[in-house]
Structure 1
Amino acid sequence: MPASTPDRETDQTAALTIAARPELTGGRRIGVLLSHGFTGSPASMRPWGEHLGALGYGVAVPLLPGHGTTWQELNTLRWVDWYAALTRAFDTLRAEHDAVVVGGLSMGGALVLRLAADRPDEVAGVMVVNPAVATRRLDVKLLPVLKHLVPSFPAIANDIKKPGVDENGYDRTPLKAIHSLIQAWPSLRADLSRITSPLVYFRSADDHVVDDASEPLVLGGISSTDVTRVALPESFHVATLDNDAPTIFEESAAFVARVSAA
């Protein structure tokens, strides 16, 4: 069985690490970095990571700062903190593997897009699931004021169509933290053209968290000529735990194998 962190069976919100098994991947060590979303946890990425790990890929799913504790703590953290943590995890994988593919859900999708824009020569491929880089919601314009008046809004976690599934996210949405995420979007959108790595874009048909503003900006903004869109007709936002999760797992496994080939 693939080696992994000792606590992966006892704490679903803990970071996940699975050692590469190059004997299963043509003798090459291939790494996959997966990032969970805002107010979520590695629990939302764990089945995906374990599927890829079973195929021999070295997998890392870091717990982003302020997550897995309390929403109040998350409200003291910002985009720069989450991106720094993801970058450290990427650098570790790069040092230990021949190629690294990155993937993310929601805010995690935005983070890996930022990474692919900043390190185009080092990212072998990008996988995003309902990534957030924009919104049509008008109330976000009030966040600069609201975040000083109220600490949080109702939760955005657990938008899952499949019954009985929990992504282990927070029950509130901290406003100072989410405003930091939204403030990072304009510079990310401006730099999407720097992304030249192959990309697979998974999109749920019914997403109650990320609206349809992000998709055309991402697909129309990147410079990569190797782009695939995969529809997820039976899933809500957290598609990695929803009815279409097997599609994500199978399509991503084929994608990783293709883009990481020597």
Structure 2
Amino acid sequence: MTAYLKGAEPFEFTGSRASVLVLHGFTGTTQSMRYLGEELHRRFGFSVLGPCLPGHGTSPDEMEKTDYRDWVGAAEDALRDLASRGDPVFVTGLSMGGMLTLGLAAQFGDLLSGIAPINAIAGVNDGGLAEVVMTRNMPERVPGIGSDIKAAGVEELAYAEVPTACLRSVYLAQAAIGDILHKVVCPTLVIQSREDHVVHPDNAYRIMRKINAVDRRLLWLEESYHVATLDNDKAFIAQQIGAFVDGILARAE
């Protein structure tokens, strides 16, 4: 069994009417998504599954053994698990989790009733990742990217250092998923912080331009940075995603 850091454990809440898969970000853990999962279950009654992606929630040494194929594969497995249970399935994710959310919608749209990517990376970058990919003698580890949070005293459970090989891997994955956004046709609620120091906010515009969902909405966050699910807008996010899911369920009845 995987020895997770305290607070990084996978979680699951059994409910009814809909199942929601919640996916955390790159180098982060389920800690960043637990509040959202709890609120979707408590306030709306949905079943919620929050996996901890391979190499996350343990140590950078363990992360170094993984790449995008492991993270994508774990997300696919979780989606198929929820789909097999019979209720309509929705996916939401933060940052890389948002990227994975878009990838699932592009490849397995028949299994999904809607998605809500949050501060998702989808092919628009400020050049920092490209430098890591292209620099020949980059060190094996670079400083972490966690805890971009506006609210005072709130910390994200994330690695203090990141394996460079994993950064190269996530760069490849975001470029690939960015190129298949046109395959996303399910209802989509794009949530983006106006001030985000990790993922460029223009990713939200790119997602909105590229996807082919008839029902696509863009929601801006005014009081949160990148890790919005732990920030000042966390309750607002939970309410908006819950209402988004409720609305789709109501139209299907």
Tell me if both proteins adopt one fold, taking TM over 0.5 as the criterion. yes
Aligned AA for 1:210?
V
**TM-score (norm. length: structure 2):** 0.92
Alignment-derived partner of residue 18 in structure 1? 13
Deviation track 1:67-104 (CA, whole Å, cap 9, x = no partner) reads 01111221221111001111111111111132000000
Bigger Cα displacement from structure 2, 34-43 vs 149-158: 149-158
Say if 1:147 and 1:176, in contact at 8 Å, map to a contact too.
no
User: Residues of 2 paired with 1:260 and 1:79: CA distance?
Assistant: 32
Aligned AA for 2:53?
L
Q: Is it true that 1:222 corresponds to 2:194 in the alignment?
A: no
Bigger Cα displacement from structure 2, 131-140 vs 163-172: 131-140
Equivalent of residue 69 in structure 1, options 46, 52, 58: 58
**TM-score (norm. length: structure 1):** 0.89
Alignment-derived partner of residue 18 in structure 2? 30
User: Residues of 2 paired with 1:32 and 1:46: CA distance?
Assistant: 12
How far did residue 121 of structure 1 move? 1.6
Aligned residues: 247
Say if 1:143 and 1:179, in contact at 8 Å, map to a contact too.
yes
User: Residues of 2 paired with 1:85 and 1:196: CA distance?
Assistant: 22
Give the alignment's Cα RMSD to 1 decimal: 1.8
Aligned AA for 1:39?
T
Deviation track 1:171-208 (CA, whole Å, cap 9, x = no partner) reads 11221111111112232122111111111111112111
Alignment-derived partner of residue 7 in structure 1? none
Alignment-derived partner of residue 31 in structure 2? 43
Bigger Cα displacement from structure 2, 10-19 vs 60-69: 10-19
Which stretches of structure 1, 4 residues or more, deviate above 2 A after TM superposition? 134-149
Q: How does 1:234-249 map to 2 (within 5 A)?
A: 234-249=223-238
How far did residue 143 of structure 1 move? 2.7
Alignment-derived partner of residue 159 in structure 1? 148
How far did residue 127 of structure 1 move? 0.5
How far did residue 145 of structure 1 move? 5.2
User: Residues of 2 paired with 1:258 and 1:173: CA distance?
Assistant: 39
User: Residues of 2 paired with 1:12 and 1:204: CA distance?
Assistant: 25
User: Residues of 2 paired with 1:79 and 1:62: CA distance?
Assistant: 15
User: Residues of 2 paired with 1:135 and 1:166: CA distance?
Assistant: 26
How far did residue 11 of structure 1 move? 3.6
